Amino acid sequence: MSKTLDSLYRSQATIYKYILYFAAIGCIVFFFPRGGQFKYEFQKGKPWQYENLYAPFDFSIRKSAEELAAERQAIEQEQIPYYRYESDTAREVHQDYEAQFPNFFPQSEFSPAQWARLGRKGREMIDSVYSRGLLEEGAVPKSTEVYLVRNNEASRVPAHTLLHPGEMEGYLGRLVSQKREEPFAAAYRSLLLRVLKPNLVLDKGLMERELQNRLSGISLTRGSVDEGKLIIAKGEVVEAENLKVLESLKAEYESELWSVRNTYFIQAGYTVLVALVLMMLLLFLKKYRPEVYRNNVNVTFIFFNILVMVFLTTLVVKYDQAMVFVVPLCILPLILKTFFDARLGLFVHVLTVLILGFVVPNSFEYIFLQIVAGIVTILTVSELYKRANLFISVGQITLIYILGYFAFHVIHEGNLDNIVWVTFGYFLLNGMITLFAQPLIYIYEKMFGMVSDVSLLELSDTNSRLLKELSNKAPGTFNHSLQVANLAEAAANEIGANAMLVRVGALYHDIGKMNNPTFFTENQTTNINPHDDLDPQTSARVIIKHVLEGIEMARKNKLPDRIIDFIRTHHGTTLVYYFFKKAREADPEGIQEEEFRYPGPIPFSRETAILMMSDAVEAASKSLVNPTYPIIDEFVDRIVGGQMQAGQFLNADITFKDIETVKKVLKQRLTNIYHLRVEYPE
């Protein structure tokens, strides 16, 4: 039982990767559409490259979105407005008329018969207006006919028979003339315009219901194709008619109705393909990026980003396929290049695009554009901590999208007609969202404990609180760290390692010396040495303790783990040789090496190995007296050779060639530091 548990404990990293692998497959397949996938790729204007295609079953030819939109527009334009007849309006107007009539026609100025006649003529004119119908302001119909709704019955009448508010004055003038009451025209006009009210009101609710009824009656199909009928022959150009038939057949394949019987087979097919893609990713990491593969946080980070992109893309496709290019897929290689390297970023980007090819429409066009955009991202994004570089790179990515889409449209259509200009807006929106990479990098750093060049640049500021404290408490150690940083950065640049990471690691590698600065020779400004009063074992413990105290101090100040790694490994498992030798001289038999050996671990990357070499060489170089070229050459070879002989670089992915290059850089830099010149002959 204990052996089994021990085996499981040793294999926990591998078990975690298996769990992550299968969980990622399940999530991705879950995001995928439930329908089938049409097995043929076709594009308008391109010849059919497969065998003759016959209808596998009966299906209807679906109308295109443009056809349906045209039918809806035609129905909306042809709609006849509905006006509701308000029967109470005429009665109210007559009452107002009777009340206002004496004000315009004083009874004292007319005989009773004349006054009664004038009142009757006015009432007749009101009845004449309402017999035709008076529209409300702003409700003038654009159609030639309208529906009048009276007592819940609609009757169709010519629109010109209705009176508009703007033509009332002229119409009243004609009525007065017909009544032969021209002398009283002004009085009638003033009175009637004051009391008349519209009795025809536009019934928007009824119109909307009628419109929806007509729109719901639009057929989504036009005609059908019988099973066994030839749809398209090999070599035939995919054009307007057969394109619609092919698109209808594809829609049938991908619809849920068609896939009900085949759901499990379809899901199984998706699972196998996604599993193959993710397996290629793990194999790539294991073979070419073993340091990334060994770190489960890094593997989780990569899989998490793939899942996020797949989720966002499938979500957008379900909402509106036309907006698929709004998803900022180029953020993926951009972020992976920031945290890892360009090759890994591009590889993951290509695999993600291949997975999304199952989801998006026009998969060939999508895959082509996204891969090209990903390559441009990798080639153009450098030094992301410089804000201008990100803006320039995003501009280039957006331009590639626009040019690629434009070229595909010309290929498909053969001209610039029917180009969807809003797609260019989607590309611009994509670019603006890609600018979110900067804050997203910061979020990822906090979530996964990773470190980017942006954070490294901030940490390299010697005015930061921790480095400022180091310079105040241990100025000699601070100057030593600066020298080591310069040496290590130059060496890293020469062999292609992460120079920024090495420099920051070098700046912080000795922060543990702040607790006991005078116990280290670089901080001793007088001839008093605290070690003179201590035995070699105690002195060694004080020296060794600066590594552990540095780790605690770094964690307290929330330095990234990748920087703490430099503090842990910069002495590896080497001996504090000076005190070990001193102890051996005093007691050759009773001294144990373990008391004088650093706890480790040994360096496990090129960057940490470079720091170990640079730190040892810079510290020991202070003992050189009258250095010359041969002395420096032999000195560096001896220091680095001793580290190699002690097996300090066995876990670091650094080659003998790299080590020789680092030694060469260290020799050149030390030569420059000591200002050696060629001796001129006398």
CATH number at residue 485: 1.10.3210
Q: Is residue 66 part of a domain?
A: no
Instruction: Tell me the pLDDT tens digit for each residue of 149-201.
Output: 777 777 787 877 777 777 777 777 777 777 777 777 777 778 777 878 888 77
| CA dist., res. 172 & res. 164, Å (int) | 12
What confidence score (pLDDT) does residue 257 get?
Answer: 46
Q: Kindly report the number of other CB atoms within 10 A of residue 421's CB atom.
A: 6
Which residue matches tokens 């611009």?
A: 428
pLDDT at 22 over 50: yes
Q: DSSP 3-state assignment of 356?
A: helix
pLDDT reported for residue 254: 64
Asked if the structure places residue 251 within a domain, the reply is no
Looking at the fold, whether 299 and 424 belong to one and the same domain comes out as yes
Kindly list the distances between the CA atom of residue 151 and the CA atoms of 85, 87, 126, 135, 202, in Å, as whole numbers in the listed order. Answer: 8, 9, 21, 18, 15
Tens-place pLDDT, residues 570-595:
999 988 877 878 877 777 666 777 78
Look at residue 260 in the predicted model and tell me its pLDDT. 53
Cβ atoms of 508 and 502 within 8 Å: the answer is no
Is 559 or 147 the better-scoring residue by pLDDT? 559
More confident residue, 257 or 6: 6
Looking at the domain assignment, is residue 525 inside a domain? yes
Q: How far apart are CA 372 and CA 355, in angstroms?
A: 16
> 28 and 80 share a domain?
no
What's the whole-number mean pLDDT along residues 520-536? 81
pLDDT at 301 over 50: yes
What share of the chain has pLDDT > 90, as a percent? 26
Tell me, yes or no, whether 398 and 488 share the same domain.
Answer: no
Percent of the chain with pLDDT over 70: 91
Q: Which of 183, 214, 245 is the last residue of a domain?
A: 214
How confident is the prediction for the chain on average, in pLDDT?
Answer: 83
CA distance 456 to 138: 67
**365 shares its domain with 431:** yes
User: Quick check: is 29 in a domain?
Assistant: yes
Alpha carbons within 13 A on the beta-carbon side of 658: 19
Of 389, 405, 437, the residue at which a domain comes to its end is: 437
Split at pLDDT 50, 70, 90, the class of 675 is: low
Section 61-85 average pLDDT: 79
Tell whether 232 is covered by a domain: no
Whether residues 197 and 342 fall in one domain? no
| 432 and 475 housed in the same domain | no
Least confident range of 226-230, 616-620, 661-665: 226-230
Q: Is residue 53 part of a domain?
A: no
Across the range 586-614, mean pLDDT stands at 84
Q: 281 and 400: one domain?
A: yes
**Does residue 467 sit in the same domain as residue 583?**
yes
Predicted local distance difference test score (pLDDT) of residue 212: 84
Domain-ending residue, one of 182, 214, 246: 214
Tell me: do 183 and 269 sit in the same domain: no
* Total number of domains in the chain: 3
Residue range 445-465, pLDDT digits in tens:
888 878 887 788 888 888 889
In this prediction, residue 178 carries a pLDDT of 75
Residues 520 and 621 in one domain: yes
Mean pLDDT, range 516-538, rounded to an integer: 82
More confident residue, 76 or 340: 340
Please say if the pLDDT value at position 404 is more than 50. Answer: yes
Please check whether residues 422 and 505 belong to one and the same domain. no
pLDDT of residue 25: 94
Q: What's the confidence (pLDDT) of residue 575?
A: 86
Higher-confidence position of 603 and 389: 603
In whole angstroms, what is the distance from residue 360 CA to residue 368 CA? 12
- Rounded (10°) CA dihedral 552, 556, 561, 566: -50
The pLDDT tens digits for 464-475 are 899 999 999 999
User: In this structure, are 597 and 484 located in the same domain?
Assistant: yes
| Residue ranges making up the domain that contains 463 | 453-673
Is 58 part of a structural domain of the chain? no
Greatest CA span in the chain, whole angstroms? Answer: 150
Contacts of range 537-543, beta carbons closer than 8 Å, 24 or more positions apart: 537/579, 537/583, 537/595, 537/596, 539/576, 539/579, 540/576, 540/579, 540/580, 540/583, 540/595, 540/596, 541/595, 542/516, 543/519, 543/576, 543/579
48 is a domain residue: no
